[in-house]
């Protein structure tokens, strides 16, 4: 079964969703969800990685599906039942489908389900929970069991067993569930987020993590998530650190946005959220309409814009001024290219989303932005507040000198 028709539909409907290191290499997805896979059977354990010597590092493979979904494998229970999850900075709960989910919950037919009877370390809780994402909602019950992430196991975590997933977006997704990396205040039901549980139980030195998302559609690797720090090999120095202005989402201040030399948006500054769970960049509808107009985009249903692929070599840079440094995106960064039936489609990576006050208006810098940059998410400590570090991602296989020349970390707008 070809994955492209449901993925194209999904793309048109997407909205926001020296320390010890846990290293999670990102793996590129192949194939499509299989609805004929035996319902409720856990997946075969993938290569979950092993701790790096002396550092408590953990490696878990993550996948990149057409630069639209990034996800990776974790284990829940004893022995571990394997699930693919999105590592989402825009939420703070961990959930996976349950073997006890309702029969008419269609996504259960497409995904692995957690079986509490197959785990010797399972602890029932039974508290009901419900979560609303930009592209779907779900509900279920809370449970407790052991988390395996890479080569490290034994962390007790509270997670959700999804019993009802009415949204078709989850059925079309290759991931089974979501692991939230937002702040504890976002956690539904007051659950301790997985990152905090790892720190509390001594499996991670500090609540810091970083993302490197590989945007090369031909690469086998989808990038890497590092829990506990950042790998310098992933980026071109320097890292530019920005304070988090609202410690719930990873929200920062943005000075302005420019499209080539002729269009300036957010001229008096605005709020921006860094969100790995959102595949595109969103902003106020009026701004995004002007931006896509400057790119020659034609509106499609559900707020997407189609761009003639022949225009890519001539399209202007889109630049974001953050902390006094310009972070530039080229057309290769912000245009999502899909080949379907021998035809190449070019879809704009900018979508309109109006977030009402008091939370909005704001921009969401999703994977289109984060794919071009390495982002370090630092929750801070009592002596210092939370912050985000950004630097241009290094081309895979490029040496430091080559990367510095080709990919400056900041500078003047495009």
Active-site annotation, residues:
88, 275
Is the preceding omega at residue 73 within 30 degrees of 0, hence cis?
no
The rounded Cα 133 to chain-centroid distance in angstroms is 13
- C-alpha 63/C-alpha 218 separation (Å) is 13
Per DSSP bridges, beta strands 94-97 and 81-88 are unpaired
Residue 390 CB: number of other CB atoms within 10 A?
A: 28
Half-sphere exposure in the Cβ direction for 227 (13 Å, CA): 27
Q: Could you tell me the CA-to-CA distances from 161 to 55, 121, 165, 176 in Å, in that order?
A: 32, 15, 11, 11
Q: Nearest 10 degrees: CA dihedral of 131, 134, 136, 140?
A: -10
Are 232 and 394 within 8 A, CB to CB? no
Using alpha carbons, select from 18, 21, 70 the residue that is nearest to residue 226: 21
Residue 399 CB: number of other CB atoms within 10 A?
A: 9
Using alpha carbons, select from 147, 160, 137 the residue that is nearest to residue 194: 147
Per DSSP bridges, beta strands 152-164 and 94-97 are parallel
- C-alpha 242/C-alpha 318 separation (Å) is 20
How many distinct helices (H) and strands (E) make up the chain?
8, 28
- C-alpha 344/C-alpha 320 separation (Å) is 28
- C-alpha 17/C-alpha 86 separation (Å) is 10
């Amino acid at each position: 079964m070809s994955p492209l028709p449901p993925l194209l539909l999904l793309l048109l409907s997407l909205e926001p969703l020296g320390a010890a290191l846990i290293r999670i290499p990102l793996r590129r997805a192949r194939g499509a969800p299989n609805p004929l896979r035996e319902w409720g059977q856990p997946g075969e354990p993938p290569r979950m990685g092993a701790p790096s010597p002396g550092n408590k590092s953990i490696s878990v493979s993550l996948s990149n599906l057409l630069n639209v979904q990034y996800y990776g494998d974790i284990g829940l229970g004893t022995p571990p039942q394997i699930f693919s999850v999105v590592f989402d900075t825009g939420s703070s709960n961990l959930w996976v489908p349950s073997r006890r989910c309702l029969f008419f919950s269609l996504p259960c037919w497409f995904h692995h389900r957690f079986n509490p009877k197959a785990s010797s370390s399972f602890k029932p809780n039974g508290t009901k929970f419900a979560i609303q994402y930009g592209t779907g909602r779900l509900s279920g019950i809370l449970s407790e069991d052991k988390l395996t992430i890479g080569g490290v196991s034994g962390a007790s975590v509270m997670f959700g067993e999804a019993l009802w997933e009415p949204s078709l977006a989850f059925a079309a997704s290759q991931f089974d569930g979501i692991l939230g990396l937002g702040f504890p205040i976002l956690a539904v039901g007051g659950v301790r987020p997985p990152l905090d549980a790892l720190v509390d139980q001594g499996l991670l030195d500090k609540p810091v993590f970083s993302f490197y998302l590989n945007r090369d559609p031909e690469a086998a690797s989808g990038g890497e998530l590092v829990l506990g720090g950042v790998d310098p090999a992933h980026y071109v120095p320097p890292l530019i650190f920005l304070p988090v202005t609202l410690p719930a989402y990873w929200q920062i201040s943005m000075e302005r946005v420019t499209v080539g030399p002729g269009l300036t948006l957010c001229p008096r500054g605005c709020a921006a959220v860094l969100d790995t769970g959102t595949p595109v960049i969103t902003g106020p509808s009026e701004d995004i309409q002007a931006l896509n107009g400057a790119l020659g985009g034609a509106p499609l249903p559900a707020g997407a814009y189609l761009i003639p692929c022949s225009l890519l070599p001539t399209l202007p840079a889109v630049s974001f001024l953050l902390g006094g440094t310009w972070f530039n995106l080229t057309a290769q960064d912000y245009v999502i290219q899909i080949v379907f039936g021998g035809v190449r489609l070019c879809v704009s990576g900018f979508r309109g989303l109006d977030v009402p006050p008091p939370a909005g208006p704001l921009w969401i810098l999703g994977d289109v932005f984060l794919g071009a940059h390495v982002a370090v998410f630092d929750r801070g400590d009592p002596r210092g507040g939370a912050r985000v570090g950004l630097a241009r991602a290094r081309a895979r296989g490029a040496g430091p000198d080559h990367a510095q020349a080709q990919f400056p970390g900041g500078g003047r707008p495009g």
